[in-house]
Copies of this chain bind each other. A is one copy, B any other.
Amino acid sequence: MRAARFHAVGRPLQIESVERPQLRANDVLIRVRAAGMCYSDIHVLDGVIAADPPVTLGHEIAGIVEEVGSGVTGFGKGDRVLVHFLSPCGRCKRCLQGKGMQCLRLFEREGYGFSDDGGYAEYCRVDAERLIKLPDDLGIEFAATLGCAGITAYHAVKSVARVKMGESVVIYGAGGVGLYALQAARLAGAYTIAVARSEARLRLAESLGADHVVNAKESNLRREVRRLTDGAGADVVFDFVMTDESIRNSMGMLASGGRLVLVGVSNKPITIDPQITVLKEFSLLGSLVGTKDELEELVGLAASKRIRSVANRAFTLDEVNEALTMLRRGEIVGRGYVVP
- A-to-B contact residues, CB < 8 Å: 48, 90-91, 93-94, 96-104, 106-107, 129, 154, 157-158, 160, 164-166, 184, 187-189, 191, 211, 232, 242, 255-257, 262-288, 291-293, 296-298, 300-301, 304, 306
Contact = CB atoms under 8 A, between A and B. Distances in A.
A54 to B, nearest CB: 23
Contacts of A286: 274, 276-283
A97 B94 contact: no
A107 B278 CA distance: 13
Contacts of A96: 98, 100, 291-293
Given A96-B292, A187-B189, A284-B284, A266 B257 contact: no
A297 B99 CA distance: 17
B281 A102 contact: yes
A271 to B, nearest CB: 5
A99 to B, nearest CB: 5
A297 to B, nearest CB: 4
Contacts of A275: 48, 265-267
B188 A293 contact: no
Given A107-B279, A276-B286, 7 more contacts: A93-B232, A160-B281, A165-B187, A166-B301, A269-B271, A271-B271, A283-B286
Quick one: copies of this chain in the complex? Answer: 4
Contacts of A101: 281
B103 A256 contact: yes
Contacts of A284: 272, 277, 283-285
B102 A257 contact: yes
B263 A278 contact: yes
Contacts of A267: 275
Contact of A271 (B99, B166, B270, B279): B270
- The 10 nearest A-B residue pairs measured at CB: A98-B98, A102-B257, A96-B293, A166-B297, A277-B286, A102-B256, A284-B284, A278-B286, A187-B189, A97-B98
Nearest to A256: B102
A166, A257, A267: residue with the most chain B Cβ atoms closer than 10 Å: A166
A280 B102 CA distance: 6
A264 B288 contact: no
A314 to B, nearest CB: 29
Contact of A278 (B93, B264, B276): B264
Nearest to A98: B98
Contact of A274 (B157, B256, B266): B266
A96 B106 CA distance: 15
A226 to B, nearest CB: 12
